[in-house]
Amino acid sequence: MTFKNIKSLFNFSTAQRKSIFLLFTIIISLQSFYYFVDFSMPNVTTSEKEKWRSIQYEIDAAKKERADYIPKIYPFNPNFITDYKGYKLGMSVPEIDRLLAFRNQNKYVNSSQEFQAVTKVSDSLLKKISPYFKFPDWINTKKEFVSYKKYPNTAFAKKEKIVVIDINKASQEDLIKIYGIGEAISLRILKFKESLGGFVSMDQMNDVWGLSPEVIENLKTHFKVLALPNLKKIDINNASIKELSLFPYFKYPLSKNIVTYRSMNGDIKNSEDLTKIKGLSTDKANIIALYLNF
């Protein structure tokens, strides 16, 4: 193909040139229209959309607050740590089980060192949680042992005779004389006695919250039940659930179990029948029986 033949390809008639010019004009117009005109959808804001936006803002704020939240630990007595409480503190299951087994023996830890010896927690965990330990006041105010001069004359070294007092006649002043009992615990003992109508056994001291085994033994040395008090006994076979619930040893679930047992088995005749009721142990039943009319 010669140059002359190629040149002939670009020879257009007047009509063809007008058509090509028109085509270019249309293409340029469309491109300009597409460039300058905004084809995006208008942003229509509805009331429902605004409502969801406000809710989303609250959700995001709550998430941030929860992420920044650090639970506050309040002072507590480590002797009464539950499974859930121990888990929240970072204790392992075996460590919690050791503490619960120790408490089931009616024993108490009285210091951070004793707590670690019983539970076998690590030093790092003990350092983290021990500042929140709160032991009874009488533990924190123990007096240091003072050695006294020994006299050769046995008359001076003679032990003072212990005067035993009837626990049902003991005053607050009498109770406070016992090492480990302060004003609060002495009032707690007296209020418990008043709610029962009187004590029938010194073993009931185990039911007073806050008394350690050592203090209970000390109480048993100085106090006895010398005579049974004049009790207003409960008619166990006719009392309603509400009436039974007023007795300190009968909480609502146990009162309900008593009424259920009566309806299914007839009258309760003695302490042995009490032990057949769910929630009553033999030792507790023997004490409770003294407050009942069968």
| pLDDT value at residue 36 | 78
pLDDT at 156: 44
What pTM value is reported for the model?
Answer: 0.46
pLDDT score, position 208: 92
Amino acid 204: pLDDT: 92
Helix or strand (DSSP H, E) at 224: strand 223-224
- Taking the C-alpha atoms of residue 260 and residue 269, their distance in angstroms, rounded to an integer, is 15
Q: Do domains 156-224 and 234-293 have the same CATH topology?
A: yes
Cα–Cα distance, 78 to 86 (Å, whole number): 9
pLDDT at 188: 94
Residue 206's pLDDT is what? 92
- For the chain of 294 residues, list the mean pLDDT of each consecutive stretch of 10: 61 80 88 76 66 76 66 79 86 90 87 91 90 76 53 51 89 92 93 93 92 92 92 92 91 91 91 88 88 90
According to the model, what pLDDT value does residue 218 have?
Answer: 92
The residue among 259, 249, 240 whose CA lies nearest residue 197 is 249
Half-sphere exposure of 99 (CA within 13 A, CB side): 24
- Give CA–CA dist 255/239, Å, rounded: 9
Topology of the domain covering 156-224: DNA polymerase; domain 1 (1.10.150)
Top CATH class, 234-293: mainly alpha
Taking the CA of residue 167 as centre, how many other CA atoms within 13 Å lie in the half-sphere pointing to its CB? 27
Using DSSP's 3-state secondary structure scheme, residue 68 falls into helix
The full set of domain ranges for the chain reads: 78-135, 156-224, 234-293
What DSSP state is assigned to residue 214? Answer: H
| pLDDT given for residue 88 in this prediction | 85
Instruction: Give pLDDT, residue 49.
Output: 72
Residues contacting 157, CB < 8 A, separation 6+? 150, 151
Question: In terms of Cα–Cα distance, which of 242, 247, 245 is closest to 290?
Answer: 247
